[in-house]
Amino acid sequence: MQLIEKAPAKINLSLDALYQHTDGEFEWQMIMTSIDLADYVQITLQDSPQIEVRTSKGYLPEDKRNLAYQAAQLLRHRFDIKTGAIIEIDKHIPVAAGLGGGSSDAAAVLRGLNQLWHLGLTKAELAHIGLSIDSDVPYCVYSETALVTGKGDQIQPLGDLPNFWMVVVKPEVSVSTPRILHALNCDQITDRPQTDRLLAGIQQQDAQQMTAAMANVLTPITNQRYPQIDYLMQRLTAFGAEKAQMSGSGPTVFGICRQYSRAQRIYNSMSGFCREVYLVQPLKK
């Protein structure tokens, strides 16, 4: 048996860290959405007990370092599955970019094997399992606009966003999320998102109110190490974006436009600064 799961990239419309738990994990408050930039994960069951991962990018790990591999092994061992699977990942999402590509691939494997192995798990149950793989996996199981709280495991879907376009730009640097989080001190955060106002903007389908309330508390930390992030955000706004922001721990930044023609012009202009530039929209339910 075989199926193909779409694994969309995620974008942080807001990212806030409220406090740090005694175990070192953070209490997050984030509004996340998924965009129409995606990997495609083909899963084929096999009689042998092995989990095999193959990717379209030769530099990606295909062993236990790969989150998709970890997801398959986790389900297999937890539910005592005797068969294995071949997982083929057609990569389109940039790697180490703050777009959750590896986590989305892992979530796609959880969803796909849940079907193929007839496990009957709910999204909430898959999300709970996925938290042990990576903190972005629970959200990626849902891959729809949501308020994400707790350690990343509490997902509250919000419905569709108002209509707008995003120009997504990934500079040629890779960011280590653990390194960025190690430098995060919740008591020193000065620019936080206005989460309630952002939620109201989404509910009222008011893109202007929504963008005015957005922020990412990791931006100053990442930008201190990679100043080109701030430069690219300045370029996005100079070219006409209504809001420019970093996603996740970076380095990817994005600009929001309500008009397609303006977004297209910004896309063309930013393509002169970076090789990886994408013109996308948030996914609808």
> Is 100 annotated as belonging to a binding site?
yes
Q: Residue-wise pLDDT tens for the chain (285 aa)?
A: 899 999 999 999 999 999 999 999 999 999 999 999 999 999 999 999 999 999 998 778 888 999 999 999 999 999 999 999 999 999 999 988 889 999 999 999 999 999 999 999 999 999 999 999 999 999 999 999 999 999 999 999 999 999 999 999 999 998 888 999 999 999 999 999 999 999 999 999 999 999 999 999 999 999 999 999 999 999 999 999 999 999 999 999 999 999 999 999 999 999 988 999 999 999 998
The sign one gets for the Cα dihedral 195, 196, 197, 201 is: positive
94 is in an annotated binding site: yes
Task: Note if 136 is an active site residue.
Answer: yes
Thinking of the domain 2-157, which architecture would CATH place it in?
Answer: 2-Layer Sandwich (3.30)
Q: What are the pLDDT digits (tens) for 103-119?
A: 999 999 999 999 999 99
The pLDDT value recorded for residue 240 is 98
Q: What's residue 98's pLDDT?
A: 87
Please tell me the class of the 165-280 domain. Answer: alpha beta
Query: Is 98 annotated among the ligand-binding residues?
Result: yes
Is residue 63 annotated as a catalytic residue, yes or no?
no
Please indicate if the annotation marks 53 as binding a ligand: no
Amino acid 273: pLDDT: 84
Quick one: pLDDT at residue 228? 94
Domain with CATH 3.30.230.10 in the chain: 2-157
**Active-site annotation holder among 39, 136, 170, 243:** 136
Q: Mind listing the pLDDT tens digit for each residue in 60-86? A: 888 899 999 999 999 999 999 999 999
Strand-pair category, 2-20 with 215-216: parallel
pLDDT at 96 (0 to 100): 82
Has 95 been labeled as part of a binding site?
Answer: yes
Residue whose C-alpha is closest to residue 246's, from 89, 14, 52, 61: 14
CB-based burial label for 230 (10 Å; 0-12, 13-18, 19+): middle
Point out the catalytic residue in the list 10, 91, 123, 170. Answer: 10
Q: How far apart are CA 66 and CA 246, in angstroms?
A: 25
Q: Which residues contact 205 (CB under 8 A, 6 or more apart)?
A: 162
**193-213: per-residue pLDDT in tens?**
999 999 999 999 999 999 999
104 marked among binding-site residues: yes
Is 143 annotated as a binding-site member? no
Cα separation values, 141 from 8, 44, 199, 254, Å: 10, 19, 21, 23
Q: Report CA dihedral (144, 110, 12, 223) to the nearest 10 degrees.
A: -170
Which segments of the chain belong to CATH 3.30.70.890? 165-280
- Output the CA–CA distances (angstroms, integers) from residue 131 to 90, 142, 175, 198, 284, in the order listed: 23, 13, 21, 25, 24
120 in a labelled binding site: no
Q: What is the pLDDT of residues 44-53, one digit of tens each?
A: 999 999 999 9
The pLDDT value recorded for residue 204 is 97
Residue from 9, 254, 242 nearest 143 by CA: 9
Distance between CA atoms of residues 139 and 143, nearest Å: 6
Estimate to the nearest angstrom the gap between the alpha carbon of 242 and the chain centroid: 22
Contacts of residue 77, defined as CB under 8 A and 6 or more positions apart, other chains included, come to none
